[in-house]
Amino acid sequence: MDIRSSAAAQAYAATRPATAPKPTPDGQAANGFTALASDFAATLQHGEATAKAAMVGGADPHALVQALAQTELAVETAVTVRDRVVEAYQEILRMPV
C-alpha cells in the first residue's frame, strides 16, 4: 500500500468542516460584523458633519434633525445589541458545568 502525503493532504482538505468560513473571491472571509461597525461609524460621522455644518449655517434645520434622528437610532440599536450580548454572556455563566 502506497501512502503519499499529498493524497493525505487532499483528503484532509476535502473534509473541511461545514462550520469553516467559505472564502470570498478576493481571498478574505466575509465578515458581517465589520460591515455593521463601519456603517455605524459612518452614520455617526455623518451626524457630526451635519451638526457642524448647521452650526456655521451650511445645513438646513431639516437635514440636521434627520441626521440626529438617524444617529440616535443607531446608538439605541448598538446599546440594545450590547445589552443582549451581556445578557447572553451572563446566562452562559449561570449554566452548570
What span, in angstroms and rounded, lies between the C-alpha atoms of 35 and 4? 43
Count of structural domains, the chain? 1
pLDDT band at 22 (very low <50, low <70, confident <90, very high): low
The more confident residue out of 79 and 34 is 79
pTM of the predicted structure, to 2 decimals: 0.61
Find residue 76's DSSP bridge partners: none
CB 43 within 8 A of CB 71: yes
pLDDT at 1: 47
Q: How many CB atoms lie within 10 A of CB 96?
A: 3
Q: 27 or 7: which carries more pLDDT confidence?
A: 7
Q: Which residues contact 40 (CB under 8 A, 6 or more apart)?
A: 74, 78
Q: What pLDDT, on the 0 to 100 scale, is given for residue 31?
A: 74
Highest mean pLDDT among 11-15, 22-26, 30-34, 60-64: 60-64
The domain of 86 spans: 5-94
With b for 16 or more beta-carbon neighbours within 10 A and e for fewer, the 10-37 pattern comes to eeeeeeeeeeeeeeeeeeeeeeeeeeee
